[in-house]
Amino acid sequence: MFIKESRSAHSNIVRYVRATQVAVLSLLLLSFCAITFFNPYLYNYPIYKGGHYFFAELLSLTVCAGVFIEISTVRKFYSLTKLDIAFAAFVSACLLSRIRFANDLYINEITMNFFMLCPIYLLIRLVINNQNIGILFYVLAALYVIEITMLVTELATSYHSTHLFLALKGTLGNSGLCAEFLLLVTPVIGRLLGKHRFKARLIVYALTSIAIFLMESRAALLALAVILAFDWGLFESGRTRQRFAKSQFALLVVIATIFAGLLICKKNSALGRVFIWELSAKHAFGSPIVGIGYGEFPKHYQDWQLSYFLSPDANQKNIAFADLPNNCFNEVLQIFIELGAAGLFCFLLICYLVCQARPKSNQSPVRTLKVSLCALLVFSLFSYPLHSLPILSFGIIFLAAISTFGLSSQKVLIKGVYGRLLLAIVFFWSAYAVAFSKQNNEAIATWNSAKKTESAHQSGALNLYGKAYPQLKTNGLFLLDYGMSLFYNHKYRECIGVLHKSSLLLPSTEPILFAARSYQELGDLNDAESLYYQALNSIPSRLAPKYLLLKLYLLKRDTANARNLCINMIGSGEKAPSVEGEAYLQFAEETLKKIK
Q: Rounded to whole angstroms, how far apart are CA atoms 267 and 264? A: 5
User: Left, alpha or beta for 170 (phi > 0: left; psi -120 to 50: alpha)?
Assistant: left
Residue among 64, 34, 79, 71 nearest 413 (CA): 79
User: What is the per-residue DSSP string for 387-431?
Assistant: GBHHHHHHHHHHHHHHHHHB--S--EEEEHHHHHHHHHHHHHHHH
- C-alpha–C-alpha distance, residues 436 and 441, integer Å: 9
Could you give the CA distance from residue 365 to residue 196 in angstroms, rounded to a whole number?
A: 16
CA distance linking residue 507 with residue 510, whole number of Å: 9
Question: 387 near 337, Cβ under 8 Å?
Answer: no
8-state DSSP, 97: T
What pLDDT shows up at residue 5?
Answer: 34
**Are the CB atoms for 435 and 82 separated by under 8 Å?**
no
Q: Is 169 helix (H, G, I), strand (E, B) or coil?
A: coil
Nearest to 402 by CA among 355, 340, 472: 355
Q: What pLDDT score was predicted for residue 86?
A: 93
Model pLDDT for residues 370-407, shown as the tens digit of each residue: 989 988 998 899 888 888 888 888 899 899 999 988 87
pLDDT score recorded for residue 219: 81
User: pLDDT at position 32, please?
Assistant: 67
Each residue's pLDDT tens digit, 412-439: 777 778 888 888 888 888 888 888 888 8
Contact 534, 546 (CB under 8 A): no
Q: Give the per-residue pLDDT at 467.
A: 92
Pairwise CA distance, residues 218 & 180, whole Å? 11
DSSP 480-508: HHHHHHHHHTT-HHHHHHHHHHHHHH---
* Cβ-Cβ contacts under 8 Å for 341 (sequence gap 6 or more): 288, 289
Name which of 408, 402, 418, 426 is nearest 125 in CA terms: 402
In this structure, are residues 441 and 49 in contact, taking their beta carbons and an 8 Å threshold?
no
Residue 109 and residue 57: Cα distance in Å, rounded?
16
Q: In the chain, which residues have pLDDT < 70?
A: 1-28, 30-52, 101-107, 158-167, 195-196, 198, 231-267, 409, 575-576, 596
Alpha carbons within 13 A on the beta-carbon side of 348 = 11
Cα separation values, 188 from 40, 194, 368, 369, 404, Å: 22, 10, 6, 7, 17
Query: What percent of the chain is helix, strand and coil (3-state, nearest 5)?
Result: 75, 0, 20
What is the amino acid identity at position 291? Answer: G
Three-class DSSP category at 78: strand
- Determine the Cα–Cα distance for residues 588 and 577; give it in Å rounded to an integer: 16
